[in-house]
Each structure stands twice: as C-alpha cells, then as structure tokens.
Structure 1
C-alpha cells in the first residue's frame, strides 16, 4: 500500500491543453483547458477556458500552450502545477515503456486500457508527484533525434525556426539576467534537453518560473519581426519557452537550489479524439433502410460507384441510411462523396471510424484481393445499437435493383440472409476433396452445401448479438487457417441460422472462367438458379481478382462502367485501368529515416535505437538527403 496520507493530499493540478476536441481521462488532477479560446470557432463545454479571468488567450497563435500556463498562474490555486497536451501525457507509472527516437511512447487511444497502463488517474498521479520539486519529460539527446551536434543546430534544422530569433532571445536573457549566461551556454551548446514543454512543479517554483519566463517572452515579442511569419514560425515563442525551461532548471540546480528533480516518460497518443458514436436518424425508424459498407481511402472510387448504383435504383419514397465503416478515408474524399451523393434527397451518407473497435486485434487476410476492411462487418452490431436489422454490401459490386426489396425480406429468427456461394459449392464437389476436407477439419460444418457468400447480407443484428460479442467475433478472426477469413467465420458460427436469398441478389461474375471451371460443379439445382439469375441480376458482384477497374472486358464490365463514369472519381478509376499509380504526397518531417520508411525495419535490426551505429546511419542519411 502507498504511504500517501489521504487526509492531507496536496492539490495537484495538471492542465491538459487542447485546441480541438479530445478524450480526456476523468479525475480531479488532470484538468482539460481549451487554449486559444478567445478566438476559437467553437467553445468546449467540458473544459476550462484560457480566456476567462486574467489571461493572454489572444496570444495563443504565438504562445501555444503557454496561454494555459499563464491562466493557471493567475487564476488557479494548487500545491503542484503541471502541464500536458491533449495528445501527450506523462506516464505516471513506474513501468518502463519502449520509446521511439524522439523519446516518446507511441500509443493510439485514450481509453480505459491506456489510463490503467500509464497511470492517468488521481491515485497514480499522487504517488508519482508527491515529494518531488520538479518533474519533466526525459532528457533526450539530439544526436538520437537526427545526429545534431547541439541544441542550436537542432533548432536551426527546423525550416520554420530562425536562428536569429534564438540569438535574440539569448541576448535578452543575458541582459535581464546575466547570471544565466553560463547556463544558457551550457544548455544551447549541449545535446540533451527535456522537450514537449511538459512539466510539474511545486507552487513556489512554478510561480518563480512564470515571473521569470513571461517578461522575457513579452519583451521578445514586443520587438519581434513576425509580419510575414508563417503559422509554424509564428509559434516561435512557444518553442523558445521549451529551451528556457531547461535553462531555468539548469541555473537553479547549478546555483544550489537542490531541487528533487525526476523525469517521467511521455506517451504520445496518435488518436486522441473522443470516441465517435453513430446516432439514429430522426424520423420514423421503421421507414429507414440502413445499408452498411466498409472501405479504405484507396477504395473511395469503388465504394462511391457502388453507392451511386444503389441509390440510382432506389425507391424515391424510401429513406436510405448509408454508413461507410472506415479508418483512413481522407476528409477531401469524404466531402467529395457526400457532395456527389447529395443529389439523392432520400439518402443520408455517414462515415464511421472503426479504429478503436479493432485496435489490439491482429487481423490479416489470406487473399491478395481481400482487405482488412472485410472484418468491419463484425463490429456493426455494436456500432449500430439502434438497429435490429441492416444490409451489408461489399464495395466491388453494382446494384441494379432496389435494395429496399432486399431489406424487406423476412428472414425470421435467422441471423443472416445470404445467397449460396457457387464457387465454394463447386469446389466441394471436386474429386480432389481438398475443400471438403477443409470444411470438415477447419470449419466443422455439418452441412457444407449451405455455405453462403458474404458480400451481400441481410443481418439480423439482434440475433447476431446473441451469438457473439464484437470482441469474441474479432478473437475468432485472429485464428489462423481460414481461406476466406470473415466469410468462413460467419458460415461456421451462423450455420443453421441462415435464410437463403434468391441468386439474383448476389450474381458473382465469371472471374477467370470459373462459371464453367468451378460453378458448374455445384449441385445442379443451385447452378441452374445461378445461371437463370444472370439474365436479370439485381446485384452483380465482381468477386475475385478480375475487377472491372483493372479489366474493362471482364464479365459484366460495361455494366460497372455505366455507373463508374458518372462519379467524380471516373478519371481516377480510368487511371487505375491504365496502370497509373497515385503519386505519394511529399514528406514534410525532418526525420533522417522516416517512421514508415522500408529502410527503418532494417535499421532497427542492424543499428538499434541509441547505438553508435544508429547515430552514424542518421548522419549519413541526412547528408544523402542534403540536410545539415
């Protein structure tokens, strides 16, 4: 048990600066504060605001998170004052976590798991803070960051920061406080510093720091030439304070303050946004047809084509709630898709980020033409708690009929409404017995001829929820050995709970001649039903590798292009057809070896982070790239 005396706990106020909505840990020690609130487009309802009381909120474009520091100094009484950011927090545990070269622990979401793992709760914070005078992030070596000789070189390497501004600040500091010259020289000519402008201080130290810091910055900005500064250069005072913090602590320790100083690791959350939640549409829920898709940014042209074909053939008297599950579709593409489909007044287009739902699961596929997005259908039952029944459609198909008719299909107590899979059934009848063995040993199905194709589904969400939770579905999805991944899992777990739909609702095209080469081996009645459905298909499914955006001569290819050429992505799809790859956006960061570089995994093996080999590699990489 901790020795902390709960009756006399000091008041710990750690302010979490935020200029955009974020998920914040609950408690009394971590206090979210909106910075730049005076000129913000919207006001946060669940945070403090830096424009109340004595404040410098208007200076936020230059002072960054310092406007929260000033506000806390002038308006809050506490025993300890600390500062984090909406995406960066201290790790308040005693457990060492792996850092990147920038001295940061990288994680994704601020959720219950993260709160527990990094001690973002009042009790853990009190244990970590009490008894210390000053806490900072770890002292990081700029040689580790990019092979820099010292902090001045590190500053000058940033294309938005000017060395003359650092020199100007240095001159002001030495003029105001000549006793700090030795410490400023030691820090700026040195290689180690605490970055991110995060710290925790006892009240008297914090007040002394603010009384020293803000007059310096005010004098600097008073005569600072920043008329033509870009948005990043405008943040120079905030960057300067990061260096000044190190100089302040170095001076006090050198001159006998004897503060108890420690470092806590910094955890950087890449997705600090609050969890996105879908809400039911307004109006009569019984009249709504919810249709769910799953796509990534590369598939934006294809999902748009599919949705367009569906709405083009939809009943104008019905309402369609179109929901796209995604993780990385760009804002530009979302806007383009939404604007284009706004022509259908009876449809609502929504996007839902599933990153949180699948985080922590190792999801892979065994086919090159099957993407991770195929697993998104497993999360629908929790993502849409207000629906009992939905349609799920793949993005490699076009709709020739009204899906309202499909949605209206009565499937009773069945979990799934689907069309039998002719490809799978044909393989079951092959003499080699490979597929039959697979069904017996991997899927354990008692009636393999009931195997369905999962590209078009009527899903009874109420029944699905009784079979497995989302967590359980995704745990099964991690198991190895499945040929068709989620489709195999749905067939395995929903056997005996399937309502079979007419074949015209999922007419698979003739990919690589498989109609005669595979489908024809299926039971005669199913094959005849399939061939009949080809005459008037309500949905054509381009399942397999032979896609119309790769081969316009493929089966039903002209039908696809009839819809695709009407979308705003028609030129992009044409470029795909021509083999033209989308150009990669230019790199804007200053890393010698980018995080996503294919060289990085080899660098981590032959030159581990922090090693001499790593530093040599960085210097070489920077010289090759023409960087200092």
Structure 2
C-alpha cells in the first residue's frame, strides 16, 4: 500500500480518480489518484484486513456490503455519494489509463503489459497530476480502449461472447436489457447496436466531467438495483455473483454510444447538455502491483550466523530442495544458518513445502527474496540487446546479492546443482584477508589452457584482459565479501559488464575480469566438480600438476560436490557422485518429481479453459459431438478450422 512519489506532484482537488483495491498494493503518490479499499464492509465482517492507509468504501453513504456482486462499483457508488471534483474517475489497483502522450505496444488483450508500479513506470505512463490534468481537460469522458471481441476471440457479437463465458448466464443479460428498455426506451436502439455488435469498453475504468459522472451514476445504479432485486443468485459461484459488475461494462458502452448518437440533454432524465466529447486512452495492466517487502536481519547473534544464498526458479525447486537438505543435514548445531533463496516465480505452495520439510532444523531459517522486481528494474538496453545470445536473468543473481542483502558483509553463494557434504560454516569461517571473493580454481579452464591449439589463453587475454589466465576461478561456490564487492562496482556497473556480448560465461567471466587480483583461493574440496563426460582425464588432467593433484585428493573427502555440466544425477543416476546425490534427494518431498525428471517426464502445463469455438446451444453442436467426439483427432481439427474462420489464428 506504499505510495511512489513522482517529481511532477502538484496538489489538486480538480481531479479525483479513485483506485479500487482489495489487496495491499503500491499506488502512485499524487493528489489526483486516491486509493480506496473496495468491499471494506465485507472485509470487516469476515475478519479480513481493513487497510488504514486507504479510503474505505463503507464510510458515509455506501453499498460496500454488495461488493461480492458489484466489485469495483461499490467504490463508484461511494464516490458518487460522498465526494465532488471537476473530474471524477474509477480505476483498479492493477490497471491504470495511460495518461502520457506516448503510445506503447499492447498485448493480445489490448492492454499495455506492465510489471511494477515504480518511479519509472509512473513517469512512463504519466501517472502524475500534471499529465493527468493535461490528458483529461476539455473532455467529457475519458475511457480505456474499446475491445473488439471478434478480432480477439472470434465472436460475432457481445451476446455470443457473454454466452460463451462458463460462468455468466444469457438470461441475466436479457433481463438487464429488458429493464433498460423499460426504464429508458430511448436507449433500445443503442443497446441493440452494442449487444449485436463486437465492441465494448471493459474494466469499468473512466474519468468523467462532474455533470456527466453524476448523470451516469444516476442512470446506472437504479438499473443495477432493479436487476439485483429480481435476480436469483442463491447458488451462484463467485464469478457469476459478479454479474452486476460485468453488466456495468456493457452498460457503460451503451451509455456512451447513446451520448454520441443524441444529445443527452434531450432526455428528460438527463442533466447533461450538448454532445459529449469522448477520448480513449490505452490501458496498462501491472502484473505485480503488490508492495515489495525487503528482507530484514535475523534476530540472531551475527557472530554465529552463516548466510547461504541460492538462486532458483520454480522448475528447479526439486534440485534446490536437495541442495538445502544436504546443507542442513551436515550443519553444526552450534551455528545458525540463514538460507536465502533468490527466487523468480517460485510458487507459494512450493515455498511452503520447502520450509515445512526443513522445519525440524531449529538452527536454520529458510527465506525467499523475489528477484523479479530487481531484474525488471536493472535490465538495461544492453541486457535486452543480447537477450537472444547468452544473456540469462540468472546472471543478475550473484551481482544482486550486494544490494538485496545490505545488512550482510559476508555471505556464501551456492549454485543449486550441488550437494553439501560437510559443515558449510567451516567454509564461511575461512579468512579472505580482505579479498572480495573466495573461490576454487576452475580445473576445466586450467586444463584447456594447457591444451595444444586451444583458444582459452587468447580468450582470457584478449576478452577478459587477465594478467594471468591461470588465476581463473569457478563461481558455482563463492564466499563473497559484500563490502568489498560494493567498493569495486555498483550493481548496475556489474550488470553492464556482464551484458557484453563477447563474453562466454557472463557472470563468471566478469568476476574473473574484475577480481583477478581480489580473490582468495579456497581448498578444492569446497567445489569438487564431478567427472562430467569423462573430463577428469580428458580435460582436468591437462591442468598444472599441483592443481590436478589437489583436485584428485579433494575427491576423496569432498565437502561440496558440484554437478556442473550437462551430466546431472537427475538425468543420469550413474553419473559421477550420483549415489551420493540420491542419498539426499530421496529424503525431500520432491523426490518423486526428481524421479520424473529422471524418466524425462515433463512438468505438465496448467490446464487452461478457453472460450468455446462453438457455443453449447449452437444448432450445429449436436452434430459436431457425433462426428467429432471430445478428445478425438477430428475434434481438434474442427476446432482449429473454426478458430481460423473466426479469426483467432
């Protein structure tokens, strides 16, 4: 529910756009945008949270308790009865009109895809007083863009679109049509035009001049009130219960269509004179309007705390869980382990499962830090430019640690494709003697350096500008002096270096470039690379003799085994150190998922329900069901043909 200030803020009572919200969100901090909790009365009765830093739609004259049916319209009603301004509008916590003078690319739903509400997006989409005032002045109605249901979904008209919805009922749309035509017969022509047409204005988002706003609300709410009074919704599901809100989207389109066809002042029920000036703006939909909560220091003695950082997405959760399990099984009971996962799109369920499965370890904390916002805010033109080469968002993880965890001066970073076979506090306690990085030499790179006609030496010299290529280290296991890292470069500077297209291993190469003289070399047993593809004899054995002998010795008592390379124990159980990996993996709640990965069983995609190509009551449907039963190949062919004819493909 935090507010993001903007540089162009100027207090104004002329424009009030009420942003309906039912969940904690970030809002632009300007006088024209006013967050208000929708359904506050319902939240209070059901034990939900009443947000103190918003307006509430149960103050004054209100219909807040009807929110399950009216959705954001309870906010609209509250604004109608309790406020005044030259311009009054309605928005949603994740959707805003684009008040800037710029146009942006839209997705298939006709919306600008946004990520986070922050200073950058506020400036980009004109979510400030000056831009809003410039956009709305001299217009009577400002709405979002018209949606064409034929181009988007292949429907021939709005009635067909409504009927195809799995929750909505055609009888309800007809009921509202009858009410409208009875109360306002002069709107029949416009209702027919809209409902038999293909275009409507979705989302109940608009800004209206005061007199138009009051005229619209005086017209809308009696229609909805009569509908609800005679509507049987005793057994309605959650979405069907929101029918009045869905109806309002069509009614808004009908109201505007009528206003542009005739002068509303000609109607005895209208207080508006003259033709209405209507402007449409783009709509931006933010995928992550929720506030960001940074991690805080643990309430533990920092002298005994060992912070260990992993990075993973949802697909890698079984591997992540195995790595954390191995770490804690070998952890000292005399230390506290702050395990922090830099995550991207890990589901809440998977997070809860990981935490619950490791709850017996009283000396450990499992925490998650969402990197999605960080990645979005730190992407540069360079990173976008090289996205199709080797750039990967995971590159951000190692460099983001110094900003994400400002309260730590020293941490351990581990790749997920490891098992920890010793007490990692011993690694953390190694003195780096003021160096930025603690790491193990990279046997793969060192072996390549000694091969005949190999380009590794030239690469290290010409591209990495290393003084001595034999200093090259492996970054799957790192001890990081974050204070020293912060002195060397800011996060943006690290990422700019890592985005260079000439680099092969972006983050690892950059760390070697910038920390060649700032690294403390760790014993090999803290990053024992497994024998992927027989590389011990084909590559590692070419490394300098002392390094190779130290590596061979470390294999006898490995503290961390690193399954770097394509040969993984979850795809090949016979791989080097495979049995050791499975001794940990089989004890996690994700063991069956890892076995599925072993059997090359892909994670199924979520089931999606699409609008029907042929409606249930379509005359042709009974013949289609006989000729092409559901699930048959014929059925899929006919569906593809139908969608192509309807313009969906």
Does 1:450 pair with 2:471? yes
- SS class of match (2:568): coil
Give the aligned partner of residue 13 of structure 1: 16
Give the aligned partner of residue 107 of structure 2: 100
Q: Which runs of 5+ in 1 are unaligned?
A: 1-5, 593-616
Does 1:298 pair with 2:315? yes
User: Quick one: which of 585, 601, 606 aligns to 1:585?
Assistant: 606
Q: How does 1:138-537 map to 2 (within 5 A)?
A: 138-256=145-263, 257-359=274-376, 360=379, 361-362=383-384, 364=387, 372-537=393-558
- SS class of match (2:100): coil
CA distance in 1, matches of 2:12, 2:406: 42
Structure 1 residue 623, shift from structure 2 partner: 6.6
- SS class of match (1:25): strand
CA distance in 2, matches of 1:131, 1:490: 56
| Residues 145 and 280, structure 2, Cα contact 8 Å, conserved in 1 | yes
- SS class of match (2:29): coil
CA distance in 2, matches of 1:311, 1:624: 58
Structure 1 residue 544, shift from structure 2 partner: 0.7
Structure 1 residue 478, shift from structure 2 partner: 1.7
User: Quick one: which of 80, 83, 86 aligns to 1:76?
Assistant: 83
| Residues 61 and 234, structure 1, Cα contact 8 Å, conserved in 2 | yes
- SS class of match (1:232): helix
Give the aligned partner of residue 26 of structure 1: 29
Give the aligned partner of residue 3 of structure 1: none
Does 1:46 pair with 2:53? yes
> Structure 1's 153 and 555: CA in aligned 2 closer, same or farther, altered over 3 A?
same
CA distance in 2, matches of 1:75, 1:404: 61
Give the aligned partner of residue 97 of structure 2: 90
Structure 1 residue 8, shift from structure 2 partner: 11
Structure 1 residue 99, shift from structure 2 partner: 2.0
| Residues 397 and 540, structure 1, Cα contact 8 Å, conserved in 2 | yes
CA distance in 1, matches of 2:121, 2:374: 15
Bigger mean CA deviation after superposition, 617-626 or 23-32? 617-626
> Structure 1's 39 and 9: CA in aligned 2 closer, same or farther, altered over 3 A?
closer
- SS class of match (1:84): strand
Structure 1 residue 230, shift from structure 2 partner: 1.5
- SS class of match (1:103): coil
> Structure 1's 8 and 562: CA in aligned 2 closer, same or farther, altered over 3 A?
closer
| Residues 191 and 254, structure 2, Cα contact 8 Å, conserved in 1 | yes
Root-mean-square deviation over aligned CA pairs? 2.3
| Residues 294 and 404, structure 2, Cα contact 8 Å, conserved in 1 | yes
CA distance in 1, matches of 2:490, 2:11: 45
CA distance in 1, matches of 2:111, 2:648: 23
Task: Render the CA deviation track for 1:67-120: whole Å, top value 9, x for unaligned.
Answer: 111111122222211111111101111212222342211121111111111100
> Structure 1's 365 and 503: CA in aligned 2 closer, same or farther, altered over 3 A?
farther
| Residues 146 and 619, structure 1, Cα contact 8 Å, conserved in 2 | no
| Residues 187 and 258, structure 2, Cα contact 8 Å, conserved in 1 | yes
Number of residue pairs aligned between Structure 1 and Structure 2: 597
Q: Which runs of at least 4 in structure 1 moved beyond 6 Å after TM superposition?
A: 6-9, 623-628
Does 1:37 pair with 2:44? no
Q: TM-score scaled by structure 1?
A: 0.91
> Structure 1's 320 and 45: CA in aligned 2 closer, same or farther, altered over 3 A?
farther
- SS class of match (2:287): strand
> Structure 1's 338 and 462: CA in aligned 2 closer, same or farther, altered over 3 A?
same
